[in-house]
Structure 1
Amino acid sequence: MKHNIILTKTGKSAKGTIQLTGSKSECNRALILEALGGGKVKVENISDAADAVLLAGILRKSEDESLKSKVESPQVVVGDDEVHEVEVIEDKLPASDSELPTQGLKTVDIGPAGTAMRFLTAYYAIGDQEVVLTGSERMKQRPIGLLVDALRALGAEIDYEEQEGYPPIKLKGSFEQRTRKISIKGNISSQYITALLLIAVKLPFGLELHIEGELTSRPYVEMTLAMLKEANILHTWEGNVISIPNQAFATTSLHIEPDWSAASYWYSIAALSDEAELFLPGLRSYSLQGDSVITEIMANFGITSQFKDGGVYLTKEVKPIGRKVFDMKECPDLAQTVVVVCAALGHEASFTGLETLKIKETDRILALQTELAKIGVKLIEDNEVYTLDCSQKQLPQRMFISTYHDHRMAMAFAPLAILIPELEVEDADVVEKSYPAFWTDLAKVGFNSSPLTP
């Protein structure tokens, strides 16, 4: 059942300290590396985002099932011209929260978690478990074909259970590498590329990945490679070719930085406030996360980012907005935040690099167009350039925001409560996907989120 809220804001200033959860993007990569690392890789500051919690649980359960299966299956040892069965000692298994199946086809349901779908597709493709990987109805509409084609070329056996090119998929757990050279389009989703890079080190012959055409969201690929390097996994990147040989993980701890995507909503709040003094602990000026570019984007709106005391201080200075074109190709998860800020301030900016937004949790372009129309603003598409027309902008006294099962729609539009006396937000719990404490944190700077009473 959807849980709607009425969001209001006392005053037009924002002052306080907000401790953000760990980066979902970093955490999901680190969890896969931990699962592949054979006990050598540990993850610190695991995100409490629902997607990360879900992925961690799936990987732990898979590890437990794999171990239990190995212990319960009689092992055959050949030596001294005799064959002996190894004794099974079940009480040495690690404790588990629930009884795990030891036979039959395993189904893994990742719900709406797109990153988990892409990463687990590659993870299970090279494993020894037969798995059906499925998700929510929206997930069944999000393409997976390019990644499946690449994995099949490598040697994986994968079948589609329903619609060709889309989940659910069956991974047969019988991988035998046929080639080390594959190619994949770079302008669809960087998560396909990351999924392949994460498993490359476990491929017997390594991986030589050729990226066709322009690479979308390059910082996310750079993040993946930097995290692999932290685990002693070396690579080369020359032109459009990334090569990773088969090699061993180092014993390491991967510490997850707070989430810059979550920080972007606080930049938005600062931009729409008359005054802002916010401190976000743990964020670094040199970050693996591409969304840290929000510091540069929001400088156009008078937001100064000062890194000291182990975090970043945000302050607001009223100034004219000069920048007219924003290229979001390398930071698409910031698009909704920046578009909404521009619309609310009546700044008729143009945006490029939004192509991937149509295949996210919802069609984010259509969702933005629909919701911005409620304040009289148009987002007009012209040959992959999107321009705001704010000539009819009018902020109502009360507004209803549809969220389309999309956490970023809820959080991108929530700061409008600074300017609109009553903002009804549909399905407020959707923020749990990446930022469960969002509404609680808003309360620390004067927002009030009241459950909608019938």
Structure 2
Amino acid sequence: MKHHNIILTKTGKSLKGTVHLTGSKSECNRALIIEALSHGKVKVENISDAADTVTLASILRSEARGQRLAGAAAYDTNSEIEIPKSEINIGPAGTAMRFLTAYFTLQDEEVILTGSERMKQRPIGVLVDALRQLGAQIEYVENDGFPPIKLKGSLVQLSNKVSIKGSISSQYITALLLIAARLPFGLELHIEGDLTSRPYVEMTLAMLQSAGIQHTWNGNVISITQQDFKETSLHVEPDWSAASYWYAIAALSDEAELFLPGLTQYSLQGDSVITEIMANFGITSQFKDGGVYLLKEPKPLGRKIFDLKECPDLAQTVIVVCAALGHEATFTGLETLKIKETDRIKALQNELAKMGVKLTEKGLVYKLDCSEKFIPEKMFIHTYEDHRMAMAFAPLALVIPELEIEDEKVVEKSYPAFWTDLEKAGFEAKVQ
């Protein structure tokens, strides 16, 4: 299928207006699994229209209706090779792959979970090993440690204790916590070492608690006993990850006054820390009238070190802003970026080089070198099938006269209305 690029231009560097953001993908994906595990006791409000969430919701609702998603026949009569009763292709939806891997260990059926070619390169072995310790029957279909995987379901629990490294993706930990209350003996999860993306784990536990699932967290051990969900509704807040791109746009503007309805000061979402990060770039956040007002104020850049361990999805956004402003900052906490939709470190290095900026790596520390930075008249951005590459680089249209971004539809993964919202804010977005 042919992909169309999009060309962004912006006359002037002033912004004013209101942007209505979709529901948080992170919150919504957790809420949908909770809804499915509660057997209807929990309802989800303000469901995100992000493609990943639409995919997950479709799969779970099909399961709830008892529908097979593929492979209606048990055998191929021509080859006499067994066909799986249900093969589920989640495409590029990484969260869905992790959460469904845990979810289907509790279902009374056999499924194969597969995805896009990039998904088959994203590791899942840590989660599979943990689930096997609990008693899950999971096999690798192609390559050990990677999707596709075959799950037999109807887990017979062998143990309630699992150890998992805190430095890996928090989605593995969340996947285990989401199913914990449905396990016959509950779960005692031991986290080894420092916990990466802690706010995402806290979000999971807070949402479970809202649905009636209690937990204890003592030191490095999170415990959840077997217990029932309560009847309730989970309201999904607008997406702070999506809001981060508007903070970046404001940071690269001369004047900006934007209102983002629905966002709250005390959010479950770890990416709400963007308010503190962007304060370094002169963006103030005022919470009132049921949302947040962004206001650009003149401020000299001072902060030189950004630790993004607890908010790695903000890394591309913050790094691009620093590069555009020629701010030679240092970044830590980027360990998980290489196993995302693409190798985000390499992708950033490739694209920043087009404006003379280097992102150097030394151990776990990354530094921006802007000594040879220049502003080209035109710049083409490869997105590497990564929605965040497109949206993190889009604010450069404020400093580069003509910015062409590969594959306009890549943003549908998390923020389908992104280009439309940019146009409403005064950008010109032409599909090429």
TM-score tier (shorter)? over 0.9
Partner AA of 1:420 in structure 2: I
1-structure distance, mates of 2:11, 2:419: 15
For residue 180 of structure 2, the aligned residue among 196, 200, 207 is 200
Contact 2:391–2:411 (CA under 8 A) maintained in structure 1 = yes
1-structure distance, mates of 2:196, 2:107: 28
Contact 1:65–1:101 (CA under 8 A) maintained in structure 2 = no
* 1:426 counterpart = 2:427: no
Q: Which residue of 2 aligns with 1:92?
A: none
For residue 111 of structure 1, the aligned residue among 65, 74, 91 is 91
Gapped regions of structure 2 (runs ≥ 5): 75-83
2-structure distance, mates of 1:359, 1:423: 27
1-structure distance, mates of 2:89, 2:285: 40
Corresponding pairs, count: 422
Partner AA of 1:177 in structure 2: Q
Contact 2:199–2:269 (CA under 8 A) maintained in structure 1 = yes
Secondary structure at the counterpart of residue 120 of structure 2: helix
**TM-score, structure 2 length as denominator?**
0.96
Secondary structure at the counterpart of residue 65 of structure 1: coil
Q: Which residue of 2 aligns with 1:450?
A: 430
Q: Which residue of 2 aligns with 1:374?
A: 354
Partner AA of 1:193 in structure 2: I
Contact 1:158–1:171 (CA under 8 A) maintained in structure 2 = yes
* 1:51 counterpart = 2:46: no
For residue 325 of structure 1, the aligned residue among 305, 330, 339 is 305
**TM-superposition CA deviations, 1:347-380 (whole Å, max 9, x none):** 0000000010000000000000000000000001
For residue 281 of structure 2, the aligned residue among 281, 287, 301 is 301
2-structure distance, mates of 1:252, 1:293: 28
1-structure distance, mates of 2:211, 2:7: 45
Runs of 4+ that moved beyond 2 A: 98-104
* 1:152 counterpart = 2:122: no
For residue 322 of structure 2, the aligned residue among 326, 336, 342 is 342
1-structure distance, mates of 2:301, 2:268: 28
**TM-superposition CA deviations, 1:95-121 (whole Å, max 9, x none):** xxx999486520000000000000000
2-structure distance, mates of 1:100, 1:259: 36
* 1:414 counterpart = 2:405: no
Partner AA of 1:144 in structure 2: I
2-structure distance, mates of 1:177, 1:383: 40
2-structure distance, mates of 1:3, 1:118: 30
Please report how far the alpha carbon of residue 174 of structure 1 lies from its aligned counterpart in structure 2 after TM superposition: 3.4
Contact 1:352–1:385 (CA under 8 A) maintained in structure 2 = yes
**TM-superposition CA deviations, 1:306-357 (whole Å, max 9, x none):** 0000000000011111100000000000000000000000000000000100
**TM-superposition CA deviations, 1:151-186 (whole Å, max 9, x none):** 001010000000000000000123100011111111
Q: Which residue of 2 aligns with 1:20?
A: 21
2-structure distance, mates of 1:322, 1:217: 25
Please report how far the alpha carbon of residue 13 of structure 1 lies from its aligned counterpart in structure 2 after TM superposition: 0.8
Partner AA of 1:382 in structure 2: K
Aligned counterparts, 1:114-153, within 5 A: 114-153=94-133
Aligned counterparts, 1:22-421, within 5 A: 22-65=23-66, 101=72, 105-421=85-401
2-structure distance, mates of 1:403, 1:416: 14
Q: CA RMSD in A?
A: 1.2
Contact 2:71–2:87 (CA under 8 A) maintained in structure 1 = no
Gapped regions of structure 1 (runs ≥ 5): 70-97
**TM-score, structure 1 length as denominator?**
0.92
Secondary structure at the counterpart of residue 306 of structure 1: strand
**TM-superposition CA deviations, 1:393-451 (whole Å, max 9, x none):** 10101000000000000000000001111001001110000000000000111111111
2-structure distance, mates of 1:287, 1:451: 35
Contact 1:7–1:423 (CA under 8 A) maintained in structure 2 = yes
Please report how far the alpha carbon of residue 262 of structure 1 lies from its aligned counterpart in structure 2 after TM superposition: 0.1
Contact 2:70–2:85 (CA under 8 A) maintained in structure 1 = no
Contact 1:11–1:446 (CA under 8 A) maintained in structure 2 = no
Partner AA of 1:251 in structure 2: E
Please report how far the alpha carbon of residue 64 of structure 1 lies from its aligned counterpart in structure 2 after TM superposition: 1.1
Contact 1:105–1:131 (CA under 8 A) maintained in structure 2 = yes
1-structure distance, mates of 2:70, 2:100: 22
Q: Which residue of 2 aligns with 1:93?
A: none
Please report how far the alpha carbon of residue 129 of structure 1 lies from its aligned counterpart in structure 2 after TM superposition: 1.2
2-structure distance, mates of 1:429, 1:106: 28
Contact 2:70–2:86 (CA under 8 A) maintained in structure 1 = no
Contact 1:194–1:221 (CA under 8 A) maintained in structure 2 = yes
Please report how far the alpha carbon of residue 3 of structure 1 lies from its aligned counterpart in structure 2 after TM superposition: 1.1
1-structure distance, mates of 2:144, 2:418: 37
2-structure distance, mates of 1:100, 1:308: 52
Contact 1:233–1:248 (CA under 8 A) maintained in structure 2 = yes
